[in-house]
Chain A
């Protein structure tokens, strides 16, 4: 089974990469571009029962793939 974990900075935390990319793209003349948010996408392949796999994905996302101080995450079965 494959699972996707998307990790992103909390809205109140400055996304320096997103800001840099947005500003560079706006310099090209794309003035309708209002913001860019950079996220991380992890794809995890997991063996075992689906119910256990889901628990494991959530645990890994919560404890390791995201840092709850500054980030949030979402998980999805692919």
Chain B
């Protein structure tokens, strides 16, 4: 079987403590016939033909200092920053999102859940207003995607939130099945129910929920497939 993404070269960065790397490899192979190129965190350059990058979930460096903080200064991240600065597409999931905020590739920070509990459950993701490729591809429906985190409370100050809203950078918000946001649909206390955001150029996307774990109806949801496909469509 071939797919329209068959020739696309996507890299996946592995940090010590990454643990969703194999799930991503499986999902991209099964859904899109793409073999992810594995890149160890000690590398100082990226394969030249690469057109997209994934930072997977896990507990890089044992979450020491802060989640994602030590990964953000590991050798490979200079190359990742340079890749993003040239307009490259980067997807950070869970710990990958934390690495992106700690690297200042995305604004804000991910803090301990307000419930003080590690949460492992399905969330319903509503798509916020915006004009990025992700927004255009994913709008007008909700997505059932699992979250699994202890530190997923997105935080940005009031001024930062206004900026995100004005630029259409909020991508996903925790809602109900109809996409309605209420106090009951915010699992971790995130500012404005934020579950995922994009960079100003729309190419760097970070989200706490795990689309790669929602890639088969057999496992409870295949809604993550569209999200991974949207990432592939941002790859140019």
Q: Is A55's CB within 8 Å of the partner chain B?
A: no
17 contacts across the A-B interface (CB closer than 8 A): A9-B111, A12-B157, A13-B155, A14-B111, A14-B189, A16-B111, A16-B114, A20-B116, A64-B69, A64-B73, A65-B65, A67-B69, A69-B108, A69-B109, A69-B155, A69-B156, A70-B155
A13 & B111 in contact (Cβ 8 Å cutoff) = yes
Residues of A within 8 A of B112 (CB): 16-17
Q: Annotate B48-72 by CB proximity to A: 1 below 8 A, 0 otherwise.
A: 0000000000000000011001000
Interface size, A (range): 10 to 19
Minimum CB–CB distance for B37 against chain A, Å? 29
Q: Interface residues, chain B, CB within 8 Å of chain A?
A: 65-66, 69, 73, 101-102, 107-109, 111-114, 116, 153, 155-157, 160, 189
Q: How near does chain A come to B200, taking the closest CB pair, in angstroms?
A: 17
New A-B contacts (13) at CB < 8 Å, excluding given A9-B111, A64-B73, A69-B157:
A12-B157, A13-B155, A14-B111, A16-B112, A19-B116, A20-B116, A64-B65, A64-B69, A69-B107, A69-B109, A69-B156, A69-B160, A70-B155
Q: Tell me the bound Cα distance from A44 to B114 in angstroms.
A: 31
Residues of A within 8 A of B156 (CB): 69
CA distance A14 to B114 in the complex (A): 7
For residue A43, give the distance in angstroms from its CB to the closest CB of chain B.
14
Q: How far is the CA of A19 from the CA of B102 in the complex (A)?
A: 25
- B43 CB, min distance to chain A CBs, angstroms: 21
> Which chain B residue has the least Cβ–Cβ distance from A14?
B114
User: What 3 pairs across the A-B complex have the smallest Cβ distances?
Assistant: A69-B109, A16-B112, A70-B109
What residues of chain A have their CB less than 8 Å away from a CB belonging to chain B? 9, 12-14, 16-17, 19-20, 64-65, 67, 69-70
Residues in chain A near residue B113, CB distance under 8 A:
16
What's the dominant secondary structure at chain B's contact region? loop
Q: Report whether B73 and A16 are in contact in the complex, using a CB–CB cutoff of 8 Å.
A: no
A61→B81 CA distance, assembly (Å) = 22
CA distance A64 to B112 in the complex (A): 18
Residue of B at shortest CB range from A66? B66
Complex-state Cα separation, A14 to B113, whole angstroms: 10
* Residues of B contacting A14 in the complex (Cβ-Cβ under 8 angstroms): 111, 114, 153, 189
**Which residue of chain B lies nearest to A63 when distances are taken between CB atoms in the complex?**
B73
Residue among A12, A13, A17, A67 facing the most chain B CB atoms (10 A cut-off): A67
A residues in contact with B116, CB < 8 Å: 16-17, 19-20
Residue of B nearest to A10 (CB): B157
Which chain A residues lie closer than 8 Å to B108 at the CB level?
Answer: 69
Give the docked Cα–Cα distance between A69 and B177 (Å): 32
Q: Report the separation of the CA atoms of residues A33 and B109 in the bound assembly, to the nearest whole angstrom.
A: 30
Contacts of A19 in B (CB 8 A): 116
Q: Which residue of the partner chain A has the closest CB to B109?
A: A69
Report how far A15 CA is from B154 CA in the complex, Å.
Answer: 14
- What CA separation (Å) do A16 and B160 show in the bound complex? 22
